[in-house]
Amino acid sequence: MGLKNLNSASKRAIPTLLIPLAGESISAGFPSPAEDYIELDIDLNKHLIKNPTSTFFLRVSGNSMNNTGIYNNDLLIVDRSINPKPGDVVVAILDSEFTLKRLIKKNENYYLKADKEDYPVINLYEYNEVIIWGVAIYSIHKL
């Protein structure tokens, strides 16, 4: 069994879309005085996508990663150019089936673990083919 990370992706242009950014940060604790003007523009692609040719969006199905803040129907941003390391949330292909779990290493062996207790740890050595397809870097969900 070998862990693989596939880094090949076709080149594609990412368009720039500037969205107004308020000049002040917002307090999540006590209220702060607000300023009624927009100061800057922000391109979310520049902040969320570091490697455009190897970044993909995936729709999440399921609840096994809720404790991480990844929920059913979230839009997940996955970067395939990042080398996965223990602790990362990864998209893996196990014998041709996709899954989203946290990569863990214990006693020199690798496993995938959901962040909810009622899901079993996945022993990667029980599969014929394991591919770590990419590392999840952001999850976008409706509030």
* CATH code of residue 78: 2.10.109.10
66 falls within a domain = yes
120 falls within a domain = yes
Query: Active-site residues: which are they?
Result: 64, 101
State phi, psi for 94 to the nearest 5 degrees. -115, 110
Counting residues of the chain whose pLDDT is more than 70, the rounded percentage is 73
121 falls within a domain = yes
Distance (Å) of CA 140 to CA 3, 21, 37:
27, 18, 26
Domain count, the chain: 1
pLDDT single digits (tens) 94-142: 999 999 999 999 999 999 999 988 999 999 999 999 999 999 999 999 9
96 falls within a domain = yes
110 falls within a domain = yes
Nearest CA to 75 out of 138, 143, 142, 140 is that of 140
57 falls within a domain = yes
- Taking residue 62's Cβ as centre, other Cβ atoms within 10 Å add up to 15
pLDDT single digits (tens) 5-57: 444 444 556 676 655 655 555 556 665 555 555 557 777 888 888 888 899 99
Write down the pLDDT at residue 13: 62
35 falls within a domain = no
Expressed as residue numbers, the domain containing 119 is: 52-140
Write down the pLDDT at residue 31: 59
Beginning with the edge strand found earlier in the chain, give each strand of the sheet holding 109-113 in spatial order: 55-59, 75-79, 130-140, 89-94, 97-106, 109-113, 122-123
Average pLDDT value for residue range 78-91: 96
Write down the pLDDT at residue 53: 87
Write down the pLDDT at residue 45: 81
State phi, psi for 54 to the nearest 5 degrees. -125, 15
Burial of 113 (0-12, 13-18, 19+ CB in 10 A): middle
Write down the pLDDT at residue 140: 93
85 falls within a domain = yes
Write down the pLDDT at residue 99: 95
